[in-house]
Each structure stands twice: as structure tokens, then as C-alpha cells.
Amino acid sequence: MNAITTARSLVQDLGGIPTQPTWLADLAEVAATGEVWQLRDAYGSRLAVIAGFAYPGGTDPSLFLFDVDACGAIMVVNSGCYDDVAQAAAAWRAFAGESADGAEPQRVETAQELLGLLHAERDELFVVGDESDSALDNWFRAMRRFYDLAEALDQRGLPLPVAESLFGKIDETPSAAAFTAWYTAHHGQPPDDAEAVEVLAHEWLEGCLPGAQHAASPHRVRYFRELMSDWIDDSITVVAKTLLPDWVRWNCEQAGVSEHLTALSVGAAEGERETYSRHGSTCAS
């Protein structure tokens, strides 16, 4: 068989290949609808962002869940596709644990409400190894969905704000003063070292997500204790560590956290041995 005959045979064979189904081309055309809901746990440092998506013509609508943990480094720790808002919210409550019990989705009306998702790290190459299965399963999809959502919000006239650094511009004075007044009222005298209170407040607020200043989940407390373990071993550090349980109580009180959840956080502040994991399945774990 010469080359011409071979070529003709190949053309005939290719002509018999059925055309691809039309829906196959639509797979890359999924887009955000611009509908967004959000939930926040009782502590205030675990968030769910639920965004609507659909294929061209509104075909096969779905919801994508971003489970954002702001207890330490702000991360999307779980994610996935769901059939409706209720299903996505139930999945998030299971991920977040008891601090999320009773949380109900609220429709997002302003882009400012999405600061938690905006500040979440989105480095696709930054894999540590302790990520959840759902995070790894959706590693690239979650990033794509974020950019799709940002584009849809921009088209709706709700562009996401520029993510400003959460570090370096910290005014700890109001928090330190409020805590000192609370401490004095509860103990009959102020803390032993005013500078220790200032240092404690500054470190607590450094890198904190707006709106989560009083979030004192056990997860965040353990993260904070690890930060304190690197402080200089001096008298200020000693006093600050002594004040931590009261600092946690005060913050939980300001956030309106229940006595039960407060007790979990205070226990973490008093020296539980569990180690902090930035991808922990629950803030209360």
C-alpha cells in the first residue's frame, strides 16, 4: 500500500468518527451567576461562602462552597459542588463543627461582605500536606471558581475591593484599654503589666480578618499560643501568657459566645496540648 492509498484510507476512517456531543464544549463554559450567600460560626473566624454557578442558558445550576478558616493564616480549607444552598450549608456545618450549629445562610448584598474569601491564600503551588481531601479534590477548581465569581460580581456592579494588607497598621490601644477595664472589674485590680496587655493585643490583632477581632475559637487560641512560644522569654511574655485565659474570656464575651463554647476556648488557652493545624477540620477541634 503506497502513501496515497494510506492517506485516502485514513481520511475515510476519520470520516466515520461520530461528531462530539454539543454538551462537551459547554463544560468549559460554566460561569458564576452572581448569587452569593454567606454563613459565619459563633466564634466569627470560620466562614462559608456559597456561590451560584450554571452552564450556558442557565443549564444545570449548582452551588460551590468555599469553607474559609480565618483562625490563623486565612485559608479555604474545604470546598465542593452542591445541588442547592441548603445542601451546601449543611456540608459546611459538618466541616466546621459545633460552633457552626444553627448558622443559616444569608444573602450577600455587598462585595465588602466577602473579605474573608478575598483574603484567603490562593497560591496553587503552596501545598503543605495536611490539606483536607475536599480541598485537594477541588484545588484548581476552587481557584477558578473564585475568579469566575469575582468577574460576575464586577459585572453586577459589585467589584471586590482591593485586598489591603492585614499587617502593619494595628492600633491595639482601644482593645487593650477595654480589656484592662474588664479585667479590673473582674479582679479588683488592673493587670500586673500594662505593656504586656499592649503586646498581647497587638499580636492578637496582627493579621486579623476585619470583623473577627473578637474571634477566639480554640483553633485560633492554639495558633496564637504557638506564636507566643516564639516570643522573647522575659517578664512581659510571662505576664502575657498568664493573661491569655482572661483575654480569651473577654473576647468571647464581646462576641456573644455561649458559655459552653467559651469554656472550650479557655481550656485551649490554659494549656491543652493539641497542636494547631491550619487545615483543621473544625475551629473547635
Give me the pLDDT at residue 135, please.
Answer: 87
Structure-derived torsion over alpha carbons of residues 32, 64, 112, 107, reported in degrees to the nearest 10: 90
Give me the pLDDT at residue 9, please.
Answer: 64
Amino acid identity, position 147: Y
Mean pLDDT by 10 residues, the chain (285 residues): 59 58 69 95 97 90 96 94 97 97 95 92 70 87 93 92 86 97 97 96 94 96 94 93 97 97 97 47 42
Give me the pLDDT at residue 205, please.
Answer: 96
List, edge to edge, every strand of the sheet that includes 75-82: 75-82, 59-69, 46-55, 31-40, 106-107
Check if the beta carbon of residue 58 is closer than 8 Å to that of residue 52. Answer: no
Give me the pLDDT at residue 278, please.
Answer: 41
The pTM for the full model equals 0.84
Give me the pLDDT at residue 82, please.
Answer: 97
**Domain positions in the chain:** 25-155, 173-206+214-269
Give me the pLDDT at residue 24, please.
Answer: 64
Structure-derived torsion over alpha carbons of residues 192, 197, 200, 201, reported in degrees to the nearest 10: 160
Which SS3 state, helix, strand or coil, does residue 280 take? coil
